[in-house]
A = this chain, B = another copy of it.
Amino acid sequence: MTNLTLEMIAETAGVSRSTVSRVVNDHPNVRPEVRERVQKVINETGYQPHAAARSLASRRTHMLGLVIPRSVQHFFSDPYFPRLTQGIAEACNAADYTLSLFLLHTADDEKKLIPRISRRGMLDGIIIQSTHLRDSVIPDISEGQVPFLVAGRPMNAPNASFIDVDNVSGAMKAVQHLIGLGRRRIATVAGSPDTAAGLDRLTGYRRALKENGLAIDEDLITAGDFTEPGGYEAAGRLLERQPDAIFCGSDMMAVGVLRRLKEAGVRVPEEISIVGYDDLPPARLTDPPLTTIRQPIRRFGVRAVQTLTEMVSHPNQGQVRVILDATELVVRGT
Contact = CB atoms under 8 A, between A and B. Distances in A.
Nearest to A122: B51
A189 interface: no
A101 interface: yes
A172 interface: no
Contacts of A119: 48-51
A313 interface: no
B93 A63 contact: no
Interface string A260-287: 0010000000000000000001100101
B98 A103 contact: no
Contacts of A121: 50-54
Interface string A33-58: 00000000000001011111111100
Contact of A109 (B93, B112, B281): B93
A48 B120 contact: yes
B103 A86 contact: yes
Nearest to A89: B103
> Which of A75, A96, A103, A105 lies at the interface centre, i.e. has the most chain B CB atoms within 10 A of its CB?
A103
Nearest to A281: B77
Q: Chain A contact residues: over half helix, strand or loop, or mixed?
A: mixed
A63 B100 contact: yes
Interface string A306-325: 00000000000000000000
A131 interface: no
A51 B61 CA distance: 10
Contacts of A99: 100-102
Interface string A81-120: 1110110011001001011111111000100110110111
A100 B100 contact: yes
Interface in A119-133: 119-122
A228 interface: yes
Given A56-B53, A118-B48, A145-B2, A90 B76 contact: no
Contacts of A49: 119
> Which of A90, A121, A145 lies at the interface centre, i.e. has the most chain B CB atoms within 10 A of its CB?
A121
A183 to B, nearest CB: 26
26 contacts: A2-B145, A48-B118, A48-B120, A49-B119, A50-B119, A51-B55, A51-B119, A52-B61, A52-B122, A53-B56, A54-B121, A75-B86, A76-B82, A77-B281, A81-B82, A82-B82, A89-B101, A89-B102, A90-B103, A90-B105, A93-B103, A93-B105, A93-B112, A98-B102, A99-B102, A100-B101
Given A54-B121, A93-B104, A99-B102, 6 more contacts: A48-B115, A50-B121, A76-B85, A81-B82, A93-B105, A98-B122
Interface pairs A-B: 8 shortest CB-CB:
A52-B55, A51-B122, A76-B82, A50-B121, A52-B121, A51-B121, A89-B103, A52-B56
